[in-house]
Chains A and B, each alone.
Chain A
Amino acid sequence: MEQLSIKHVTKRFGRRTVLDDISFTLAPAKIYGLLGSNGAGKSTLLNIITNRIFPTSGTVELGNENINNNDDALGKIFLMSEANLYPKRTSVRRMFDLANGAYGHFNYQTAERQLKLFGLDESAHLNDLSTGEQTIAKVILALNVAVDYVLLDEPVLGLDASHRELFYQELLKSYQAQPRTFVLSTHLIEEVQQLVEHVIIIGQHKVIADSDVQEMLDRAHSVSGPARLVDQYTAGLRVLKVEDIGKLRTAYVYDDLDDDRILPDQVQLGHYDLQHLFIYLTNGGENNHD
């Protein structure tokens, strides 16, 4: 399997810049989280990766080949998006057949099992289904299409908690059965934190984080204690947010803590989760004081 490289991609709609010089690489057989606030340009980026829209500048390459107008490359990438791109009166079965015709080797057996699991009829027309049911149909399609890169844009949109749980289980099963790259673009960070290995965060139209989840969480420290001591301890570190309650202060640091730094007795060190790290990073970061 080849790497999927996004190289210096910029997208402007009129005067509005949505993506500004975005570069990163998606490695084979890895689960990624693509995170960003509303309007950050995640869907636009996924649409560019799959050649649905053109970038203003920059390229997307699979291995050494540009994906633009390239059937072989496009045949290795599948995007499940919120938008329904099928003609009216397209049945769920017809969606599977189209994917089988275009990508080949569609896993009908697993798809049928999943349809039963989620309680969906394959003869149902996509337009007649509720938002949640449409998502289920599209997710089942995405999990069973034979490609190296599966991009899922809001894959749990409209799904209730039990169906979301089912989806995460099926995603892991599918990945274990046939390791390939999944990219999950979602706002439900808490739910995918245990699932994704690597996170790409888009903020201010740029990539502001591109790192393994564990590496990121290892650098996410909360430092609590008397304000003066917390300030002394965090001096020179990248502090994303500071919260004060009375005379106590909590600083949310995103940095490596060197061994030379001595922790005062009254100061407590802890970790915070991916969701809060995302919020602090996308809210402007440095020394956000509440």
Chain B
Amino acid sequence: MISTKKEMVTTNVLHQLGIAALTAAAWVVGVELVFDLLALIFNHNLQSFLVSLQGIPTTLANILPVVLAIYFLVTPYSDFKWAIQNGVSRWTLWQGRLLALLLSTILIDLIDELLALTYRPMGSWSALLIHLLGLLTTVLTFQAIGNGFGLLSRKGKVIVGIGLPIVMIILLMMLMSAVDGVTLDYSNGHFIGSMGWLFNLLDSSATPWILWMVYLAVVLFLTKFFNDRMQLRRD
């Protein structure tokens, strides 16, 4: 049974997210409409205007997942503040936000798919599932990052916010140059030496799912780990 406090957290997150999504959608659609109307005024081409209007669902389908991910990136600390002011424990906050994340991800994925029907046919069930899981993983990752940022002061956020992407890029470049130096004869169907197990593993259809589950477990752990350490700051 869902507790009153958990329900309150979930409802509040969905309410705030709804407002954020509607505001973002209104702005984006509004700006797009203004540009389309300006084009119509200058070009007097009604056909082109009507074609442009058909692009609005695409824009919405693109913007809603972005709003969702950004919402869970920027709100952990502000949610923590009002929750702790109202005697909500960190555990309940984590559960409530996670529930809201799952529900909102499913809802936005559904809206996304419906909007996408205006410009492409419906995909297969497996494609739909992969799209949903992809969105869920992305949003969870953003929440984990957001929860981590929730522990930092403003100064800390600036330092990590700039430093972390730079470190990631450097690591990625190092990894790419390391991989570039390795030459393996993979095309002949036989593997060289002790690396054979790795290729067999990568060849398995279960591997991506296992990797995804491990990644999801790590991300979930991080959201909880950071959430449990959040405390009120004076900045």
Contact = CB atoms under 8 A, between A and B. Distances in A.
Interface of A: 47, 50-54, 69-71, 74-79, 83, 85-87, 90, 98-99, 101-104, 147
A86 B82 contact: yes
Contact of B84 (A85, A87, A90, A103): A85
B231 interface: yes
Contact of B82 (A69, A74, A78, A98): A98
B194 interface: no
B92 A71 contact: yes
The B interface is mostly helix, strand or loop, or mixed, namely helix
Given A53-B232, A87-B16, A102 B88 contact: yes
B217 to A, nearest CB: 22
B231 A103 contact: no
Interface residues of B, number: 21
Contact of A51 (B4, B8, B81, B89): B89
Given A87-B16, A98-B8, A101-B4, A70 B89 contact: yes
B88 A71 contact: yes
Contacts of A98: 8, 12, 82, 85-86
Interface string B1-17: 00111001000100010
Contact of B87 (A47, A74, A90): A74
A51 B84 contact: yes
A147 B86 CA distance: 11
Contacts of A99: 86
Contacts of A83: 232
Nearest to A147: B87
Nearest to A99: B86
Given A47-B232, A52-B232, A74 B88 contact: yes
28 contacts: A47-B232, A51-B89, A52-B231, A53-B231, A54-B231, A69-B228, A71-B3, A71-B88, A71-B91, A71-B92, A74-B87, A74-B89, A75-B5, A75-B87, A76-B87, A77-B87, A86-B85, A87-B78, A98-B12, A98-B86, A101-B5, A101-B8, A102-B4, A102-B8, A102-B86, A102-B88, A103-B87, A147-B87
Contacts of B90: 69
Nearest to A76: B87
A85 B88 contact: no
A69 B87 CA distance: 10
Nearest to A43: B234
Given A71-B3, A87-B16, A103 B86 contact: yes
A39 B86 CA distance: 26
A71 B89 contact: yes
A153 B116 CA distance: 53
A76 B89 CA distance: 12
Contacts of B231: 52-54
B227 to A, nearest CB: 10
B129 to A, nearest CB: 35
A98 B16 CA distance: 14
A78 B78 contact: no
Contacts of A71: 3, 5, 87-89, 91-92
Contacts of A78: 87
Contacts of B3: 71
Given A71-B92, A87-B78, A52 B4 contact: no
B20 to A, nearest CB: 11
Contacts of B85: 79, 85-86, 98
Interface in B1-41: 3-5, 8, 12, 16
B87 A102 contact: yes
Given A87-B16, A99-B86, A103-B86, 15 more contacts: A53-B231, A53-B232, A69-B90, A71-B3, A71-B87, A71-B91, A74-B89, A85-B81, A86-B85, A87-B82, A101-B5, A101-B8, A102-B4, A103-B87, A147-B87
B8 A69 contact: no
B16 A50 contact: no
Interface string B69-111: 0000000001001101111111110000000000000000000
Contacts of B87: 50, 71, 74-78, 102-103, 147
